[in-house]
Amino acid sequence: MTDAASKIAPPKWESATRERVRSSLKKYLKPLQELVARDANEGDTRLLITDLLCDALGYDKYEDLTTEYMVRGEFADYGVRIDKQMVAFIEVKRATTKLGIKHLRQVEMYAVNEGVEWVVLTNGAHWQVYHLTAGLPVTIDLTLDLDLLGPQTANHKADQFFYLAKESFKRKQIEDVWKQTAATSPKALLELMLSAPVLEAARKELRRRAGYNLDNADLARLIRGSVVRPEIL
């Protein structure tokens, strides 16, 4: 049996969802390009995003989506429900706006106040998906960063966008993406490098190679001071 034949075929719902996402992105590519070309305002950008949420991602406009969702006197552009449970907030910016930290802080507070784990920033083309972990302080991890007008292949974009589809989101597949992304983030890798077992192994290897004997604390200081980028610390 060949490797290809031995692979387990995906369930029918997943194949159908991926195909719907792929064909919808193809359909909306030109309108999205035109939106950016004319520097469409936020309202027009929302119209296209509503179409993407419904046609590509499978959300019901009336049952699953709510616009201008009020959170302590402020309004989130979209609230997303699955089985009547609020699961994400979406903050929309005009088509040519560069997404930034101030936009994230705005929608982050909505999510914290409502106990929602997922927030999405988008200008129609660029989609950033973040996971929030409650606590003091709140931990926020970038899980997906997708540009629908970027240089990646159409299949790659569809594969990434799939995780926002209702069928996938309902099954919490995006949580696996978050866990993998968080585990290999610069901060997580630094913690791994500075863990006692890794430091001990590195210390022994350094002594073997150069006859240089450091204790773990000194080696950790060297790594922090000369190897790690300041923004990771």
Place of tokens 């929608």: 107
Please say if the pLDDT value at position 121 is more than 70. Answer: yes
Of the given ranges (24-38, 40-54, 153-167, 182-196), which has the lowest mean pLDDT? 182-196
Residue 43 pLDDT more than 80?
Answer: yes
Sheet holding 74-82, edge to edge: 65-71, 74-82, 85-92, 118-122, 126-133, 139-147
The residue with greater pLDDT, 45 or 182, is 45
Q: What mean pLDDT do residues 21-27 have?
A: 98
Query: What is the pLDDT, as a whole number, of residue 228?
Result: 75
13 half-sphere exposure, CB direction, 13 A CA radius: 9
- Dump pLDDT digits (tens) for 129-147: 999 998 778 889 999 999 9
- 0.75 exceeded by the pTM? yes
142 CB neighbour count, 10 Å cutoff: 15
CATH number for the domain running over 9-174: 3.90.1570
pLDDT over 90 (residue 7): no
Assigned token pair, 118? 């997922």
Measured CA to CA, the distance from residue 131 to residue 143 in angstroms comes to: 7
Tokens of 11: 């369930």
**Maximal CA-CA distance, the chain:** 70
Cβ(199)–Cβ(220) below 8 Å: yes
Nearest to 155 by CA among 9, 12, 25: 25
Confidence tier at 5 by pLDDT (50, 70, 90):
very low
Residue 64 and residue 151: Cα distance in Å, rounded?
31
Kindly report, as residue ranges, where domains of CATH 3.90.1570 are found in the chain: 9-174
What digits encode the pLDDT tens for the residues 61-84? 999 999 877 665 567 889 999 999
pLDDT band at 3 (very low <50, low <70, confident <90, very high): low
Report which residue type is found at 146. Answer: L
pLDDT tens string 168-213:
999 999 999 999 887 777 776 787 788 888 878 888 888 888 888 8
Q: What is the pLDDT of residue 76?
A: 81
